Amino acid sequence: MLSNELRHATSPYLLQHADNPVHWQPWSSATLALAAKLDRPILLSIGYAACHWCHVMAHESFEDQTVAALMNAAFVNVKVDREERPDIDHIYMSALHAMGQQGGWPLTMLLTPDGSAMWGGTYFPPRRAQGRPSFTDVLQHFTRAWRDNRPALLQQAGQFSRLTESAPRGAGTLSPAAFPALAERLAAAFDPLTGGFRGAPKFPNAPVLDFLLRVDAHHDLPDAQTAVLNTLQNMCLGGIYDHLRGGFARYSVDERWLVPHFEKMLYDNAQLIDLLTVAWQITGNPLFKTAVEETIAWIAAEMTAPGGAFYASLDADSEGVEGRFYLWTPEQINTVLDPEAAAQMAKVFDVTLAGNFHDEGTGAPTNILNRLRSGSSAAVPPDHLAIMKAKLLAERAKRTRPGCDDKILADWNGLMIAALTHAATAFDRQDWLAMARNAACFVYESMTSADPGAPPLGHSSRAGKVQHPGLATDHVFMLQAALALHEAGASPPESLPWLAWAERLADAIDLHYFDASAGKLSPAALSASDVPLRLHPTEDDAIPNPHGPLVQALIGLATQTGELRWIARARHWLDDLSDTISAQPLRHCGLLAAQLYADHVAEVTISGAAAEPFIQAALATRHDGRIVTTRHPENPRTEVTVCIQQSCSLPVNEVAAMLELMNDRGSRPRL
């Protein structure tokens, strides 16, 4: 007799479904074996805790006794948190795309007992609507089909293995000389008024923005730089940004960045902190600096676990309504501020009686705070504006808060640790560096496996339990984080210096994730037994594919350690993947950025007893174009050399001369 087994989970998303009448099972080899024993198809549902439409489908269908009875009678029902198992999510999202359907969450897939995909979709309503079948229709159709027409379903499932077909390997032909033209193609696809790719919805697309900024740094492409800066400015002014607390929502449903889906994800904010830091270094625009400061303040206040690591996300919903926590009417503002201040606040943040949004629960007009009309230079003194914002924030804190997915993911923490470290050195904020160090210490001390035959890192931690062996992304992004902390001079854990940890992670990536048969990284460890199909993606998603960051990390590791094997490994990755990149370059911005890094990075070597001013000045430059190493602190004379592609300058002993060399060699923004 099956029952709902999610009560044993630690994932907040899975626990949201632990009381469903559906007999949910976790994804595992044992669950696949159970389906085979019962000779039942698998109904796979994948989502995440901050997903609005996941909540909707749960309330409409998974909490319904009649629907649950249909599911329990005919299927082995499996629930997956896509953030805990992005490897499984990627397999079945790829299968859905191969079926010609648009992806999204919740992801709903019908599988054979061995995990092969027969058919799939995303959200299904409780009743037929707009040409979409009801979820009950889907259940009844596949119950009959499995009973009466199984050969046809198995034939469809036979296409599942074709997902492993990939582009040819070998030396490619994509020349770095083509990068400016690629960047211009990308920039031409951006909305000239609001930024981002034209149309709606609008996503940050951080890997694309990162590539455009890097190409501009080396090839002087004003259109590429403008596309990025315009995008970031409008995001900082739009409703996608939380103007009271800081932090960015996942994406905007409109073309103006006004109306977000209100969930806040750690990985988006990590990448945006990095981008906004570089944008501030290029422009000096205080809007970008403020967004970095406020977003990091939000991370510190609301997204930091007692041990120092960072939580995964905040939900879109509160009180069962999307966005309600963030919305304001003029009357609500009037109860907090005096009439003059309320009028100023309404003008700055576009709050009107007619509203720019409607409460999805009541239908009443309300407002998403934004500055798209008033712009970045409001006619209110900054200190006065800060006081008003603080009062509204205190009032907002009395509301029912969105749920927090408080699991700790090693890869997303790696992204945030590196971003905080880069921002700390750019803005000279030792408190931010301390945040980054504390999070890294937690991951090292609490998420490291004691099994010498297993990958060093676990993937997810919650309530003192580490769940699931680490993924390639965990090891690559934490490798980057360890190198950033070493470069910034953050004090490491007593038992292991950052550089030694970085080497251990790099060795583990080769051992546990490099699939020689494909010439690529496997998302899950090669030893994973519950992966029904081993794919080797190279394209970027909301976060960069790990192949590109790995190349950059290996170059940094080679420079810091003097071990040439790492630079050889990085060059191998670029050469071996060049055919893949050249076939679809604009889907591989992370790898394009890695090629730029390999060709242009300035290796700044500082030696001598009075090195600190040189180190601080070098670290204050753009992180995406330099590697700072220190040598021989016992030397009485301080000297600096700057090397690019094994071509080195003569030693200099003045900070200005060092910065001039770095600037001339394309590693700093043009000032």
Domain boundaries, the chain: 6-163, 198-405, 601-671
| Residues contacting 433, CB < 8 A, separation 6+ | 420, 421, 424, 425, 488, 490
Alpha-carbon 110 to chain mean position:
28
Per-residue confidence (pLDDT) for residue 165, from 0 to 100: 62
How far apart are alpha carbons 612 and 428 in whole angstroms? 13
How far apart are alpha carbons 622 and 624 in whole angstroms? 5
Place of tokens 């960045």: 257
Strand partners of residue 567: none
User: What are the φ/ψ torsions at residue 237 (nearest 5 degrees)?
Assistant: -90, -25
User: For the segment 538-586, what is each residue's pLDDT rounded down to a tens digit?
Assistant: 999 999 999 999 999 999 999 999 999 999 999 989 998 988 888 899 9
How far apart are alpha carbons 301 and 378 in whole angstroms? 26
| Fold (topology level) of 601-671 | Glutaredoxin (3.40.30)
User: For the segment 376-403, what is each residue's pLDDT rounded down to a tens digit?
Assistant: 766 788 889 999 999 999 999 999 999 9
Amino acid at site 531? V
Q: Which residues of the chain have pLDDT under 50?
A: 167-171, 665-671
Per-residue confidence (pLDDT) for residue 452, from 0 to 100: 84
What's the CATH class of domain 6-163? alpha beta
Per-residue confidence (pLDDT) for residue 82, from 0 to 100: 96
Place of tokens 């080396």: 218
Domains 6-163 and 601-671 equal at CATH topology level:
yes
Per-residue confidence (pLDDT) for residue 669, from 0 to 100: 33
Per-residue confidence (pLDDT) for residue 633, from 0 to 100: 80
- The secondary structure of 624-660 as a DSSP string is GGEEEEEE-TT-SS-EEEEEETTEEPPPB-SHHHHHH
Classified as helix, coil or strand, 431 is helix
